[in-house]
Amino acid sequence: MISLSDLRKFKAEGRKFSCLTCYDASMAKAMEVAEIDTILVGDSLGMTIQGCDSTLPVNVSDMAYHTAAVRRGNSHAFILTDLPFMSYATLNDALSSSKTIMQAGAHMVKLEGGEWLAETVQVLTRNGIPVCVHLGLTPQSVHVFGGYKVQARTRAAADQLIADCKAVVDAGAAVLLLECVPAQVGKEISNLFPNTPVIGIGAGAETDGQVLVVQDMLGLNFSHVAKFVRNFMKEQAGETAILDAFKAYHAAVQDGSFPAVEHTFQIEL
């Protein structure tokens, strides 16, 4: 099983690592077979699984439920799990939410924020809970940003982001995740912290790891598709591979060609 030490070693060796979001055991098993290095049980499940229009309605028990399923399905990847909206607003909340998530099977919790999280990061780390801090575009603050927009677009904003990264790394953050920042900023931050693996999403090619939401890379996102998404399903199997399977199943049930003899139990009674 991949550990935090492995991620640090990968960084030192310049070996990029993969990360995908995952919310269930069968997909987690597929990712184990594919040797995906790290899994993020993201609060994006609010959209991808629960059908909400943001991550805000997700709660700690949702995250624990999906973390436990993923952990049961995968014994290879390092598993990060999001602490959802308002579940780390106080130190006590952060400790209690992280306890639930770690006991469900996560190897690390992920929090969204910056310098103001330093004390929380320190307290969690001292209590044996490894922390990833998510910076840049932080979806739990979508209503503060006024939409999903690229962050750190000016030198001053990039310097502020770097100061936030320094504060949380000094406090003990073991991994950083950067979302929707210019590639130059992703590179600068990754180079600044030799011991801290940096995962990017829409943060350019120079971060130590990359993450995508699994539905996005399988072409199963039927709403807005961000610029940083690549549809790997389309490249491997054709744009509509999964939809084609659904349509073929529907047609086969309708025309009676499924189930065929080989799919049925033929027992003399």
Query: Which parts of this chain interact with ligand KIV (CB under 6 A)?
Result: 21, 40, 42-44, 82, 134, 177, 179, 201, 211, 213
Nearer to ligand KIV, 131 or 201 (CB): 201
Q: How far apart are CA 139 and CA 266, in angstroms?
A: 53
Q: How far apart are CA 193 and CA 97, in angstroms?
A: 28
User: Is 119 one of the annotated binding-site residues?
Assistant: no
The label of the residue with tokens 């940083």 reads: 228
Sorted by sequence, the CB contacts under 8 Å of residue 76 that are 6+ apart come out as 1, 2, 31, 32, 35, 36
User: Is 44 one of the annotated binding-site residues?
Assistant: yes
User: Is 112 one of the annotated binding-site residues?
Assistant: yes
Q: Is 21 helix (H, G, I), strand (E, B) or coil?
A: strand
- The angle, 0 to 180 degrees and rounded to 10, between the axes of the packed helices 155-171 and 118-126 is 30
User: Is 208 one of the annotated binding-site residues?
Assistant: no
Nearer to ligand KIV, 73 or 202 (CB): 202
Closest separation between CB of residue 40 and ligand KIV, Å? 6
Closest separation between CB of residue 268 and ligand KIV, Å? 53
User: Is 268 one of the annotated binding-site residues?
Assistant: no
Closest separation between CB of residue 105 and ligand KIV, Å? 17
Nearer to ligand KIV, 164 or 179 (CB): 179
Which two tokens mark 122? Answer: 């320190």
Closest separation between CB of residue 107 and ligand KIV, Å? 16
Nearer to ligand KIV, 183 or 237 (CB): 183
Residue 187: CB atoms within 10 Å = 17
Which residues are tagged catalytic? Answer: 179
Q: Which of 212, 210, 172 is nearest to 193 (CA)?
A: 172
User: Cα Rg for the chain, rounded, in angstroms?
Assistant: 20
Residue nearest to ligand KIV (CB): 42
Q: How far apart are CA 198 and CA 216, in angstroms?
A: 21
Nearer to ligand KIV, 233 or 237 (CB): 233
Closest separation between CB of residue 16 and ligand KIV, Å? 16
Q: How far apart are CA 174 and CA 107, in angstroms?
A: 12
Length reported for the chain: 269
Question: Which residues are part of a known binding site for 3-methyl-2-oxobutanoate?
Answer: 43-44, 82, 110
Question: Which residues are part of a known binding site for Mg(2+)?
Answer: 43, 82, 112
Question: Which residues are part of a known binding site?
Answer: 43-44, 82, 110, 112
